[in-house]
Chain A
């Protein structure tokens, strides 16, 4: 049989396959941490390790998705979903971290609220913002959702020191120009891919949290 034709190498392809490699290694690391945890349950360092590994994993997932978007082989899988199901999923993804840091997570949402989105992408991107928020908060975070001017919003409010100036905005801001965390950039890209007619999704970052800290909101049309 003939050999398979070689695909031409491009930088983005190398980037893509490297991300895969690193992700596999991370998978093994996460697993080893899990095992360590079983014999050293109370060790704070191990818990910190687990937290960092999961952060790296999140970043890689986001990089990989952005890479696929760039390579144009990615389509959002948008359907109607229950907002409370989304919040439950996010809570479940992050629950062990909240246990670790003894931070209270309060959820506010109308059971019947629906929204149009890509379930997995929205869950994982909000989840990583929540992950960040709990790093900077003291005792409590409110994760809420509701309706506002034709958009469904998801909001994360914490009781930390708030966003630093360069990550803050009150209106639709293009994060490509600013110096931002990957998580915020990622979710702003994902938000912008959610559109309905002329409306497009966006995010806002302010420091008017009901708890006194940062307030992150994602708006989906």
Chain B
């Protein structure tokens, strides 16, 4: 039997009678450490200060966050270790796929009313699975995919036959993460040869999508939707495939269907709003933006962006009063948030401009300018891009140019963002300007990189480091430069020996890379190398 004495449990339930009933059940199962929360916010606060092995959460928590919000926030902010179990308690048998997105699946659903035996059986089932994948999940947690794959392969060799399909599913997902599409496809195809399973079909289609075979991908996603109409993921991926082939109307249609079937997901509503904006379907854009604003209220994904997007849609539909109204609400909802204030000011300036209220437009733009200058450090790239657009429109060429220059230099290897920069310039009829800058920056980056790598191959490490250090000064947020420089610094230490200085230097760049959001996957080998050097260095000192 599962030992519940050593497990720390969080019970989230708003209805006191029910809470007591479940509490008694848990105590009768030998539970010792039990914390209770009567609403979602309290649950989150509790999870921020302590880690739980089991979270038992009612879906319906009255006013405020519901169970799904709690799960979403806990996963998003990494409040739940992969070894913990999240059990969602619902009033009726739910279709899990409708309720939540793939990444927000609870480990288990329990339908009320349930017996104490059923609770125990489900907990045992969950922990049996957790135990099976313990080492794999731990490796995935630190994004060490090669190790996770190694453990998966061991499981396939050693664990009982009845676990194989589950292990293969995870193995295929890992193959997709590591872009080993051939292996993933092979696994999915093998599964499909045995039995047509929804997730294996999705897997095959997803690989087509990732490899750019959009036509095949679209065909399979459509097949999945016609056979299993509640597979929400298929709609999302179908929309993405359409988008990739610039079929915006079809993409919108796919998302629209998904939203009708499962209206509770804020990220999907947001996506629908974006696409509807592209197709010029302002009515749909307005509905989706409103939904995103409403759904954001208790969501970890709440963003001032949804408010300003809604304001933009209102503006496009000549509903200026509504647009200004929603911006006012936004300022109230996001007090002391410079990004929100900046977004509001930019939007207000545009709206007043279109209403012919030049003075008010200018005042709003000046507010935007001053926020942008004061809070440069904390503003994200998206809002800076918006700001540069506003600058162009207000004839602040120099300011706009400076912003764009810095953005392009820092994010030249982020294709999605560079596309956004390009799109913004197209929208205001300045294609040329952006293309020139982007191409020049790309050339510069390639040139520096080639130069550095050449010197590295000639074993002129100091010179190579100097080249990258110079580049780092002009593009301090460029991930490629930081990664390559760190690799050379580490290699140089290996060749010419550790000093306090060069070890500190290596550490500085590793931390910087982490801060810039370089994926753990790419950092792993570097960190391992560094750890080895530290180990050697300490040994040398102690001698």
Contact = CB atoms under 8 A, between A and B. Distances in A.
A203 to B, nearest CB: 20
B261 interface: yes
Contacts, number: 98
Interface string B132-165: 0000000000000000000000000000111001
A201 B290 CA distance: 45
The 9 closest A-B pairs by CB, nearest first: A75-B230, A92-B121, A92-B117, A92-B118, A75-B228, A80-B165, A95-B117, A30-B113, A82-B162
A85 B125 contact: yes
Given A92-B115, A92-B118, A80 B195 contact: yes
A75 B117 contact: no
Contacts of B18: 31
Interface string B197-220: 111000000000000000000000
Given A65-B93, A80-B197, A31 B113 contact: yes
A98 B376 CA distance: 69
Contacts of B111: 61, 120, 124
Contacts of B93: 61, 64-65, 120-121, 124
A201 to B, nearest CB: 14
Nearest to A32: B17
A3 B83 CA distance: 44
Contacts of B92: 20, 23, 61, 64
A78 interface: yes
Nearest to B294: A1
Contact of B161 (A1, A61, A112): A112
B91 A27 contact: yes
Interface residues of B, number: 40
Interface string A83-117: 00100110111011000000000000001101010
A54 interface: yes
Nearest to A72: B229
A149 interface: no
Interface string A36-69: 0010000000000000001001000100110010
Contacts of A65: 93
A73 B229 contact: yes
A93 B115 contact: yes
A171 interface: no
Contacts of B197: 78-80, 116
A91 to B, nearest CB: 8
17 contacts: A30-B113, A31-B17, A57-B113, A61-B111, A73-B98, A74-B95, A74-B230, A80-B166, A89-B118, A89-B125, A92-B118, A95-B117, A96-B115, A112-B162, A114-B161, A120-B109, A196-B196
B195 A96 contact: no
Nearest to B18: A31
Interface string B279-293: 000000000001000
Contacts of B17: 31, 35
B259 to A, nearest CB: 13
A140 interface: no
Nearest to B21: A34
B113 A92 contact: no
A24 interface: yes
Tell me if B's interface is mostly helix, strand, loop or mixed: helix
Contacts of B162: 82, 111-112, 114
A121 B24 CA distance: 28
B230 A73 contact: yes
A33 B18 CA distance: 12
Contacts of A76: 228
A116 B229 contact: no
Contacts of A70: none
A185 B24 CA distance: 36
Nearest to A221: B195
Contacts of B230: 73-75
B112 interface: yes
Contacts of B117: 91-93, 95-96
Interface in B1-55: 17-18, 21, 24
Give the interface centre of B109, B121, B166, B198 by most chain A CB atoms within 10 Å: B121
Contacts of A64: 92-93
Contacts of A74: 95, 230
Contacts of A82: 162
Contact of A75 (B116, B121, B125, B229): B229
Contact of B198 (A68, A78, A91, A111): A78
Contacts of A68: 95
B120 interface: yes
Contacts of A93: 114-115, 117-118
B265 interface: no
